[in-house]
Homo-oligomer: A and B are copies of this chain.
Amino acid sequence: VNFNNSTKTEKGVGLDVQLISEVNVENSVFVERNFTKNEINYCLQQPSPNSSFAGRWAAKEAVLKAVSSLVGKPLWTGGAGAPLIDIEIVRKDGEAPVVKFHNDAKKLVKKFGVKNVKITISHSGSYSVAMALAE
């Protein structure tokens, strides 16, 4: 028995940086296409909504990259790109943010055996950054 093969330890990583001013928060079509109602409410209540939207955007991109890095190929191949609204970033104050997948995103991560995606977000000055680890 080869115990080394009994647990898959491989991970996928995703990192994303966003110049906060480049995330077009004034464009309500863009916002509603990419963020859930809960995300929009959360961001609008933060001290700097623009930073929060940029941080969430970076987080969604980081999750996409981490899942592709784990699976070894792009997950979303049909059409004009991945629906980022289906990768929701949820958080309670004081706790680490959590990723929830919906609709096609949920089916795809299940199909490819992704068990868990951890996410971390930070803002300072003109930038938001996020990193995701998929396992």
Q: How many chain A residues touch B (Cβ–Cβ < 8 Å)?
A: 46
Answer whether A13 and B119 are a contact pair too, CB < 8 Å, given A4-B7, A6-B6, A124-B22.
yes
* Residues of B with C-beta under 8 A to A18: 124
Give the Cβ gap from A96 to chain B, nearest Cβ, in Å: 4
Report B-chain residues with C-beta under 8 Å of the C-beta of A17.
122-125, 127, 129
A interface residues with partner B (beta carbon < 8 Å): 3-4, 6-19, 22, 61-62, 65-66, 68-69, 72-74, 94-96, 116, 118-127, 129-133, 135
Given contacts A4-B7, A9-B135, 13 further A-B contacts (CB under 8 A): A9-B9, A11-B11, A15-B129, A17-B122, A61-B122, A62-B120, A66-B120, A68-B95, A69-B96, A125-B126, A125-B127, A127-B127, A131-B131
